[in-house]
Amino acid sequence: MIIAATSMGETLDSAFCEKFGRAPYFIIYDTSSSSFKAVKNSAVLLDSGAGPEAVRQLSSFGVQILLAGHIGGNASSALEAAKIKAVTGFSSSKTVEQVLSDFGKNPE
């Protein structure tokens, strides 16, 4: 399974970012190989449409699940169209690794 988590940085130790469309990075985690890669969010500086553009970016990596703090309406519609399941409510007080671990304990 390919999971994306919003992140402030490029490592699993980076702070989790509650924003989706304007998150500086996405950590793309592959559960089958326990490997990850950091992807700079190309939508972060857009004046509008950051959410749908971020969805297009995640879709290109085969993401199946997105972990975020919250997601706007346009991004939510784009995620649904791309068949990416969004799991929200995670806090920026945790690292990306902690959020991935929390999700692994209680996948929805």
Write the pLDDT tens digit of every residue in 21-73.
999 999 999 999 999 999 999 998 888 899 999 999 999 999 999 999 999 88
CA distance 99 to 16: 7
Name all domains of the chain by residue range, CATH numbers in brackets.
2-105 (3.30.420.130)
Region of 88 (left: φ > 0; alpha: ψ -120 to 50; beta: rest) is beta
CA distance 35 to 15: 18
Q: Are 36 and 27 in contact (CB under 8 A)?
A: yes
pLDDT of residue 21: 93
Asked if the model's pLDDT at residue 106 lies above 80, the reply is no
Supply the DSSP symbol for 15: B
